[in-house]
Amino acid sequence: MDLNFNKNEDHNKLLLSDLNQRFIKVSLGGGKKRIEKLHSQGKMTARERIDYLLDEKSKSIEIAAFAGEDMYEEHGGCPSGGVVVKIGYIQGKQCVVVANDATVKAGAWFPITGKKNLRAQEIAIENKLPIIYLVDSAGVYLPLQDEIFPDKEHFGRIFRNNAIMSSMGITQIAAVMGSCVAGGAYLPIMSDESIIVDKTGSIFLAGSYLVKAAIGESIDNETLGGATTHCEISGVTDYKAKDDEDALNTIKNIVGKIGDYDKAGFNRIEAKNPLENPEDLFGIIPKSRADQYDMYEVIKRLVDNSEYDEYKAGYGQTIITCYARIDGWAVGIVANQRKLVKTKKGEMQFGGVIYNDSADKATRFIANCNQKKIPLVFLQDVTGFMVGSKSEHSGIIKDGAKMVNAVSNSVVPKFTIIIGNSYGAGNYAMCGKAYDPRLIAAWPSAELAVMSGNSAAKVLLQIEKASLEKSGEKITPEKEAELFNKIKDRYDNQVSPYYAAARIWTDGIINPLDTRTWVSMGIEAANHSPIEKAFNLGVLQV
């Protein structure tokens, strides 16, 4: 290994250490004191409930662990968006589990909480996976109610999705393990089956204080909407549990009896580990986002037996297209080559840039994978499409549009891993969040933005300088450097993978060594949902 490899390895392992430390922090939710208070009430935390529910020693992936990061500091923060979401196995069946975190503002819904819940439901709908709700929430966070209550993708969409999933035959089970109030009270009754924990669970449209204020009736919360009331009088809930464990055991028993599912039929054989050491990924990915590296070396450390069959190897070389297997599943990989490449015509092409020929090749390959019913995996490290007169005269916009068209209309499941850069239209063509990947994850080395921090800062600096000079201010070299650094620092914060993860532009920031698990579990989830639509590119300018 060379010195550069060692420097890269040190840098990337520090990024991974930072990821692990950040995860430990958000895993504590509202903090140790609030966890202790929850335990004193005889209740588990959201994460403890999920861990108990999921099969022991089985794999799972957490969705949007960093949702809300640094977004609501003036309101005391909202770690993990106040809700924990995992895809895992219950009695051997793959499910989505959504658990309100009562240590974060009593499980109240911030705007990002709503977005995260909707993402969980979207995953369940796309993949026809059973979804389990572990409810313990005080309802909408009132200081931000205007950002969570009325719009199409706000709180009310949750219940609309409950109804849609019910009509699709997707199993929904709700366990009320704490508060379930106001509009949220509809969730358990809109699920297929509901459980309520005696003495700690409660369901009502309005609590005792509001009932007293509204109609003058004096009643305690337990009589108003406790377990006995809803299991024996109202019929809202189906099962009464004595404690959290009893409720979770009931869920296990219900899920364990669910019948088998219709399969999409994606190809899978016995899984094999990569022959090349996946740990090498930390030394391969460069410290600087501007540096070049060989994406083939990354692919070898992600795919079974480090084997792949390349499509159009000598054409359009700034995008690699190949068939391979990940954990036994057949996949089609579309990856940005980050090395400077030389074409047969003797021309040099920059790594990470999409040229006419590479866009054309990717379009054809995506069509082939759709025809063969092979899931697509996009490995992003892209700075965008090639610019300049030569590219424009060759129709780069047309070729780029063809690739975007193919990605948009693809009917096989797509999975996106952002390894490095994810800039501009390159993000779109390589299946960014707007193009409906079943899962989209970023490595700690990722950056997402319209352009790099350095490039953006130069553009923004010129605008800022022109504005200041217009107002009569003289810009010295020192002042210019100060302005540049200020603008770049602000922009660099926005290109961080944590900025994107906080807003759920990605489903998570992951250890590169977990990439195979994410793709494999994602394809397994997608296999629950047979493809019902034919691949059709529509109108294309050829």
For the cut 80, the answer to whether the pLDDT of residue 540 exceeds it is no
**Residue 150 burial class via C-beta count within 10 angstroms: exposed 0-12, middle 13-18, buried 19 and up:** exposed
Beta carbons of 512 and 299 less than 8 angstroms apart: no
pLDDT value of position 325: 98
Q: What's the rounded mean pLDDT across residues 414-434?
A: 95
CA angle 15, 454, 435 (to 5 degrees): 70
Q: 143-191, pLDDT tens digit by residue?
A: 998 888 888 888 889 999 999 999 999 999 999 999 888 767 788 889 9
Residue 354 has pLDDT above 70, yes or no: yes
Q: Which residues contact 77 (CB under 8 A, 6 or more apart)?
A: 68, 104
Residue corresponding to tokens 């807003």 = 503
Provide the pLDDT confidence category of residue 1 given band limits of 50, 70 and 90: low
Both structure tokens of 325 = 């297997």
Q: Distance from CA of residue 28 to its chain's centroid? A: 20
The tokens for 511 are 């250890």
Mean pLDDT, to the nearest integer, of 202-213? Answer: 83
What is the pLDDT at residue 287? 95
* pLDDT for the residue 154: 87
pLDDT of residue 70 exceeding 80: yes
- Per the CB < 8 A criterion, the answer to whether 449 and 503 are in contact is no
Give the per-residue pLDDT at 395: 65
> Do 450 and 428 contact (CB within 8 A), yes or no?
no
Range of weakest confidence among 114-128, 285-299, 434-448, 458-472 = 458-472
Strand runs (DSSP E) across 55-168, as ranges?
A: 61-63, 83-90, 93-100, 131-137
Whole-prediction pTM: 0.94
pLDDT, tens digit, 9 for 90 and up, residues 280-321 = 999 999 999 889 999 999 999 999 999 999 999 999 999 999
Distance in angstroms (rounded) separating the CA atoms of residues 46 and 55: 16
Report the DSSP pairing between strands 439-442 and 414-423: parallel
CB atoms within 10 A of CB 434: 11
Mind listing the pLDDT tens digit for each residue in 238-276? Answer: 999 999 999 999 999 999 999 999 999 999 999 999 999
Is 169 within 8 Å of 131 (Cβ atoms)?
Answer: no
- Stretch 396-400: mean pLDDT: 83
93 pairs with which residues across the strands?
A: 90
Structure tokens at 62: 């957490």
Per DSSP, helices labelled H in 341-388 are 356-372
Tokens of 278: 């996946």
- Amino acid identity of 115? K
Question: Residue 400 has what pLDDT?
Answer: 86
The fraction of the chain above a pLDDT of 70, given in percent, is 97
Contact in structure between 517 and 441 (CB atoms under 8 Å): no
Is residue 541 scored above 70 in pLDDT?
no
Residue 242 tokens, joined? 């004595």
Confidence at residue 467, expressed as pLDDT on a 0 to 100 scale: 80
| CB-based contact 304:325 (threshold 8 Å) | yes
Question: Is a pLDDT exceeding 80 seen at residue 109?
Answer: yes
527 Cβ partners below 8 Å, 6+ apart? 263, 264, 265, 266
Q: Which of 309, 208, 232, 244 is nearest to 45 (CA)?
A: 244
